[in-house]
Amino acid sequence: MEAPAARALRLGPDVDQALRAHAERAWPEECCGALLGDRASVFVALPLENTAGDRRRGFLVSARDSLRVEAEAEARGLRWVGVYHSHPDAPAVPSAADGSTAWPDGWTVIIPVRAGVAGDPRAYWFDADLGRFTAAPAATLQAVHFER
Ligand SMILES: [Zn+2]
C-alpha cells in the first residue's frame, strides 16, 4: 500500500476527543486502540484492552481483539488503517519498541499524557520496507468535520 501523498492524517473531532479521553483514563498506564478509516482520515477509534505484561511501558493487542477489529471494520465498510496508544509522562515520539508493534504501511498515533492530562495526538506513518516512522505534519491533526 502506498503512503498517502503528504503522509497526512486527519482525525475527526470525535476521534480526537476519544483518543485524549482514553489516554487520560488509562494513565499512568498506556492505552491502545484501533483506527478505522481510509488512506488519509480516521473516522472511528476503537478502544482495546492493553494486554501487555507491563502496561506502564508498553501495549499489546490480543489476537481475539484483532479479529474483532477486522470484523468491525468490514461491517462499517472502513479499513483498519492504524493503531493508537498513549505515552504516560513521555513525549509523543515513537519508542524503540514501537517499531515492533507498528502497523506496517499504516498509521501509529501517539497521545502524550502528562500527570493525567492528554496533549495533542501525533501521527506517524510506518514504512515497513524502511522499518521507520515518518511524522505527519502537526497541522493535519486539526479537528475537521466529515460528511459521512
Ligand atoms: Zn509507544
- Tell me the three cell numbers of residue 2: 502506498
Q: What tens digit of pLDDT does each residue of 30-89 get?
A: 999 999 998 788 999 999 999 999 999 999 999 999 999 999 999 999 999 999 999 999
Assigned CATH for 10-135: 3.40.140.10
Query: How many whole angstroms from 2 Cα to the centroid of ligand 1?
Result: 24
Query: How many whole angstroms from 71 Cα to the centroid of ligand 1?
Result: 25
For cell 483498519, what's the residue?
80
Q: Nearest 5°: CA angle at 148, between 17 and 18?
A: 10
Q: What tens digit of pLDDT does each residue of 124-137 get?
A: 999 989 999 999 87
Question: Is residue 29 helix, strand or coil?
Answer: coil
Rounded distance, CA 128 to CA 107, Å?
11
Mean per-residue pLDDT over the chain, rounded: 88
- Tell me the three cell numbers of residue 101: 508493534
Please, are residues 85 and 123 in contact by the beta-carbon 8 Å criterion? no
Query: How many whole angstroms from 90 Cα to the centroid of ligand 1?
Result: 9
What one-character DSSP code corresponds to residue 53? S
Q: What are the sequence ranges of the domains in the chain?
A: 10-135
Query: How many whole angstroms from 43 Cα to the centroid of ligand 1?
Result: 22
Helices first, then strands: H and E counts in the chain: 3, 8
Rounded distance, CA 45 to CA 32, Å?
10
My answer on whether omega of the bond before 28 falls inside 30° of 0, hence cis, is yes
- Give the per-residue pLDDT at 147: 42
